[in-house]
């Protein structure tokens, strides 16, 4: 998937509401963050950084959704432990991450883990920013994500 493509719709089990679909956010800008594993140090750093800067995303009229292959129960515990105020979505069946090109077949012996990735999807469902890393410890450039959102204003 590339910038300018329509983002694949999905419905996943979530923290907070029972399920979240990307189509629920039509008319709104969305930051989709794929992350490998809840409670891991780098994922905790990334999502807590988003939590701490959430007002900036809100100021840019964007909602944040974070997706991993962890179970909904693990994600709920992670969200509670780190006070994460945005939905964490469980791609436990590994259906969404591969469609976004954000999927490791094997990460250090773990089969089927989401890559660290970031997408900005506009209110029409079009991908306006795409970043996918093959290095699990590399964090997305939040400045670049915010610039992509600012360009949508």
For 44, phi then psi, to 5°, come to -65, -45
Task: Please tell me the distance from the alpha carbon of residue 152 to that of residue 143, in angstroms, as a whole number.
Answer: 15
DSSP 49-82: HHHHTHHHHHHTTEEEEEEESS-HHHHHHHHHHH
Would you call 43 a catalytic residue per the annotation? yes
Give the Å distances, CA to CA, from 141 to 15, 36, 110. 25, 17, 26
Cβ neighbours for 132, distance < 8 A, ≥ 6 positions apart = 34, 100, 101, 102, 115, 116, 117
**Catalytic residue among 43, 88, 113, 136, which?**
43
According to DSSP, the β-strands at 88-90 and 62-68 are parallel
Catalytic positions are: 43
């Amino acid at each position: 998937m590339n910038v300018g493509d329509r983002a694949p719709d999905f419905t996943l089990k979530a923290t907070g509401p029972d399920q979240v679909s990307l189509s629920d956010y039509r008319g709104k800008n969305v930051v989709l963050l794929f992350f490998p594993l809840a409670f891991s140090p780098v994922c905790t750093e990334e999502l807590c950084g988003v939590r701490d800067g959430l007002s900036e995303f809100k100021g840019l009229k964007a909602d944040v959704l974070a997706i991993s292959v962890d179970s909904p129960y693990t994600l709920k515990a992670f969200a509670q432990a780190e006070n994460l105020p945005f939905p964490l979505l469980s791609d436990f069946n590994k259906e969404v991450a591969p469609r976004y090109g954000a999927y490791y077949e094997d990460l250090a012996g773990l089969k089927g883990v989401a890559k660290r990735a970031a997408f900005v999807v506009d209110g029409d469902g079009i991908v306006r920013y795409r970043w996918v890393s093959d290095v699990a410890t590399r964090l997305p450039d939040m400045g670049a994500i915010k610039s992509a959102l600012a360009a949508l204003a």
